[in-house]
Amino acid sequence: MFCTIRARRSRREPRRIGAAGLLALAALVASAHPGRAQQQDNIIKQGQNIFKQGAKLLGLATDDAPPADFVAKSRPAADLDFIPVFQPPPEPERKALGDDELKAMKGELDAVQKQHDALLQANSPAANKPAEEAAAKKKPRTSAPNVPSAQQ
């Protein structure tokens, strides 16, 4: 059984090798196109190589587009020697609050918190449940009507 499986695989390998060779030949022919030969000196100066040009012709590579205007404006004019990783944040525009201002703000926040807690307690189903249970206990139960028994 192993011999038959191995024999089947060996039939496909020449096709794969041939397809890879054909693709490499197409890339080589595309990179050696006569129209591109005049630009070869310019390509080397730009730092591009023959493989990238071949990939461009096959549609596998692209040129980098220039950045948008807002990106170019936000970048510094000169290249930085290094990129700061832990750059300190900018200073806040307004001054720090004093002790009396902090206490006043805390009092306002506490008042709002108490108001919200009161609303929550008033409208919470869990808070209303004990009151509903107490009302149900006080309500008299109605007895079932007298049903004559079959044994009498």
Task: Report yes or no: 23 and 55 within 8 Å, Cβ to Cβ.
Answer: no
Nearest to 64 by CA among 78, 79, 46, 80: 46
Ordered alpha helix ranges (H), 47-149: 50-58, 69-74, 99-123, 125-138
Which of 48-62, 79-93, 113-127 has maximum average pLDDT? 113-127
pTM value is 0.28
- What's the pLDDT tens digit per position in 17-64? 878 887 887 776 666 655 554 555 555 555 567 788 778 888 888 888
